[in-house]
Structure 1
Amino acid sequence: MTGSFITALPSAGRLMASLRDIGYDLPGAIADIIDNAIDADAATVAVEIAADGADSWIRVSDDGVGMNRARIDEAMRYGTRADYGADSLGHFGLGLKTASLSQCRRLTVASRTAEADPPVIRRWDLDQVLSTDSWELERVRAVSAPSRLLEPLEGVGAGTVVLWEHLDRVLPRKPTEGMTARVLRTAVDDAREHLGMVFHRFLDGEAYGRRWPFGRRRLELSLNGEPVEPWDPFSRDEARTHALPPQLLEYTDAYGCAVTVPVKPYVLPGQQFFSTADAHRSAGGPKRWNRHQGFYIYRRERLIQAGGWNRLRTLDEHAKLARIAVDLPPGQEEQFGVDVAKMRVSLPVDLRAGLRAIASGAVAVAQERYRDHLDASTEVVAPRSVTSEAISLSRDWPAIMAVVDDVLEQEPGLRDRLLLRLANADADDDSLLRHGHGT
């Protein structure tokens, strides 16, 4: 005979306040709201950051499908039961609330599904929740809503507006107008760089070509009225960017299913080999050259990690030209340790050896490029295109690498030359095998 059960609801005030510290910065929080707009099939998203002293506000509006009363009530609930599709950027049912309230104390959302429908408006006010310690979601009447909330919905068929007010995590405790203007100018610059990086596949149309193969389009994203431009981490428009052969890694997930991970290594040109000085400066990225070396991990076309080696190697000035795209397979968020803020990733253990090998090959090429940059008399390897056929690394690859490590541990120079040869070899090049057999 079992015992009885009671409903143990968490303290609304304490839980809502504690979830403010889940790990967002301002650009990351704005990006999470844009994820929802993309999931709502928005073609246009406008971000406004308005400086007005203590009354400053941030607004994200879109022309997506919008929400009716039932859907907006569910969307505003913590841990929504939304059925996320294969292409959805959302995952945990927390992003709208946690991202917003990580930056502000009052979140208001207005949405409409058709031009004839009046907008439905819901609000979480942290101070109200703290005072009552209850999950009181406010239903706001349109007649009492601020004009800045409803203006983007005027004259559009459908859409959603997310408004942040009382920006206590963005502004100083007692903000003056001058101080507020300076802080928010920096916020605009940081957000512009971050959004152009995170959503570059949507902004240049690359993502839509894969998500909807029957039509190609671009996301129109603006910040304070100015278009956000995509930032390609791999400088693929540069003639001297070296695209190494794409590869496929395999691992078995927690459910015993074989999972394939596409990996595309790139080596960027040295400074003097960029087409222009501005192109080189732009390629350095928001975090600048050294911190942008490493893995670029994408989840459903959205960038969730921009550089870093995930403890497979350390940052190195001589390796800063190496950047590697890794596409996280659908449904593998748990295996990769993706957090709610979509800002941290952990590599599955079974992938680490294969990724280490790919990284070593790319870094070997990058080091050659770096030396070319230091010595202009050295001939630069001509860039070549990636073929459509990828190299597949089998599940035996970790064992193979273990043997290679043992043999070459005392000969790092020989190892680098071997990895360089592997990185530059065509998929059908068996010369290494012939040399290995003494022919």
Structure 2
Amino acid sequence: MNETYEVIPSAKRLIKSLRDIGYDFSTAVADLIDNSIEAGASKVDIDVAFYGNDSYVRISDNGNGMKSENLKEAMRYGSERDYLEEDLGRFGLGLKTASMSQCQYFSVASRSKENKQIAVFSWDLSHIERTNKWEILQPKEKDIPELLKTPISEHSGTVVLWEKLDRIIGFKNSEGEAARNKVISMCRELENYLSMVFHKFLSNEVLGKSLEIYLNRNKIQPWDPFGRHESKTNILSPIKIKIIHNGAENKIFLQPYILPTKEEFSSQDSFQKLSGISGWNPQQGFYIYRANRMIQSGGWCGLRVIDEHTKLARIELNFSPALDDLFKINVAKMKVQLPVQAREEIERVVKPIVSLARERYDHEKKNLFKPSAPKVTEIQQTSPINKNILIKNSSQDIKFDLFTLNEVEQKVKEFATKYESKTISDVFSRLRRRLFGR
């Protein structure tokens, strides 16, 4: 039998690497909201406060909370827990990797329903670099900041506090206008992202998981990418694709939509909102959901290219976390791949959907550019034209010069070369035929 040796990774090296696995500010916050949903929260508050180097981000919920021993385990990288099929978590990394991707110091406070005492643990990057140990910190009760205690002082829940925001406030002048503008911009992007990713929860579409999210006390409204509020949206028949994984039968659910053309929308504002974060063309294609939480918004996953003529096609694709391996979902829940064994079938059912979207788009363009019969009547000149006409009863009389079509042609030719003159004559000849039929 071989001898075994435990080889513990270098804490200070590995934790730095784990800060760069693909999160941005919006996806990091979304990963923490996944935890809140799993904990049964019905409300999540996000507070982003700008105070230069003392800026912070706080995410708090009213979920079930955790006892001290459970919180300690949750702070472990690769924490051991059994995930239910409907859970949004997967690797036991999200809380830590999402938080450390944005800051050097974060704390988690939690209060369970069974215990009024608040448990708090922290990860400190500077401590890890100094000790090279996987050690979390536990402050004394008297040292727990109010920022952690206040949100759960009256009920169960969990609070995550990000401090030392080096990935957010990474400016020489941490209190300057550039730093402030970046925070404002990130908050705007965060609002748009959360309204899209969690729109099914925000609009009470997920049974037993109603959710409200507030960003700096402003309630985030859901963004429905399928325009189901529009009467002209074409909701096609749902599609189920069976797939065998680990000896068990699972299903992939597709719900196709053909959105209205610009002229068919109820308002210009509604048309603009449905263009989404990226614009109409990039937003066509698949909207992939894992347990009703959006993972991908738009794109065809390599089945076809983005095309102006198919931009009205949007397809909801929902799969269970039991199929995570097949969809190759990553830690940050930002990228997925269509399963190899279902790819051909998905491509087959998508083709007629794309054709319908193209037909609707082309039909609009044909109507838009369809030539109409000329409605111009030629007025025969019976007397000399008065070329000096004054418009009266205005704040200022304006003098206009009027010219016949022949005179306009001659005026243009005065500035033309001999090679351009023939082209000008041809253009004006076609114009006369178009206007007067001669």
Give the structure-1-normalised TM-score: 0.81
Given that 1:297 and 1:305 are in contact with CA atoms closer than 8 Å, whether structure 2 keeps it comes out as: yes
1:128 alignment counterpart: 127
- CA displacement, residues 117-169 of structure 1 (integer Å, 9 cap, x when unaligned): 22111000111101110011001123212222222122x22011001111111
Q: How far is the alpha carbon of 1:60 from its aligned partner? A: 0.3
2:159 alignment counterpart: 161
Q: Secondary structure at the match of 1:27?
A: helix
Q: Secondary structure at the match of 1:323?
A: strand
Q: How far is the alpha carbon of 1:54 from its aligned partner? A: 1.4
1:297 to 288, 299, 306: 288
Q: How far is the alpha carbon of 1:376 from its aligned partner? A: 3.7
2:49 alignment counterpart: 50
Q: Which 4+ residue blocks in structure 1 deviate beyond 4 angstroms?
A: none
| Separation in structure 2 between the aligned mates of residue 114 and residue 246 of structure 1, nearest angstrom | 41
Q: How far is the alpha carbon of 1:116 from its aligned partner? A: 6.0
| Separation in structure 1 between the aligned mates of residue 181 and residue 363 of structure 2, nearest angstrom | 42
CA radius of gyration, larger in: 2
2:360 to 369, 376, 385: 369
- CA displacement, residues 85-105 of structure 1 (integer Å, 9 cap, x when unaligned): 121111110000000101111
| Separation in structure 2 between the aligned mates of residue 7 and residue 116 of structure 1, nearest angstrom | 37
- AA paired with 2:239? Q
Matched, 1:251 2:249: no
Q: CA RMSD of the aligned region, Å? A: 1.6
Q: Secondary structure at the match of 1:374?
A: helix
Task: Work out the percentage of aligned pairs sharing the same amino acid.
Answer: 41
| Separation in structure 2 between the aligned mates of residue 123 and residue 226 of structure 1, nearest angstrom | 28
Q: Secondary structure at the match of 1:334?
A: helix
Given that 2:202 and 2:211 are in contact with CA atoms closer than 8 Å, whether structure 1 keeps it comes out as: yes
Structure 1: 5+ residue runs without aligned partners?
A: 380-439
- CA displacement, residues 263-302 of structure 1 (integer Å, 9 cap, x when unaligned): 1111111111111111111111112211111111111110
| Separation in structure 1 between the aligned mates of residue 301 and residue 115 of structure 2, nearest angstrom | 51
2:148 alignment counterpart: 149
Q: How far is the alpha carbon of 1:218 from its aligned partner? A: 2.6
Q: Secondary structure at the match of 1:291?
A: coil
Q: Secondary structure at the match of 1:335?
A: helix
Matched, 1:282 2:282: no
Task: Single out whichever of 34-43 and 140-149 deviates more from structure 2.
Answer: 140-149
1:320 alignment counterpart: 311
- CA displacement, residues 318-347 of structure 1 (integer Å, 9 cap, x when unaligned): 111111011113411011100010000011
1:63 alignment counterpart: 62
- CA displacement, residues 233-275 of structure 1 (integer Å, 9 cap, x when unaligned): 101110011111111112232x233322111111111111111
| Separation in structure 2 between the aligned mates of residue 124 and residue 329 of structure 1, nearest angstrom | 32
Give the structure-2-normalised TM-score: 0.82
Matched, 1:170 2:168: yes
1:239 alignment counterpart: 231
Q: Secondary structure at the match of 2:54?
A: coil
Structure 2: 5+ residue runs without aligned partners?
A: 371-438
| Separation in structure 2 between the aligned mates of residue 259 and residue 291 of structure 1, nearest angstrom | 30
2:397 alignment counterpart: none
Matched, 1:13 2:12: yes
| Separation in structure 1 between the aligned mates of residue 312 and residue 185 of structure 2, nearest angstrom | 28
Q: Secondary structure at the match of 2:231?
A: coil
Number of positions where the alignment pairs a residue of Structure 1 with one of Structure 2: 369
| Separation in structure 1 between the aligned mates of residue 70 and residue 247 of structure 2, nearest angstrom | 35
Given that 2:86 and 2:320 are in contact with CA atoms closer than 8 Å, whether structure 1 keeps it comes out as: no
- AA paired with 2:261? G
2:219 to 211, 216, 227: 227
1:397 alignment counterpart: none
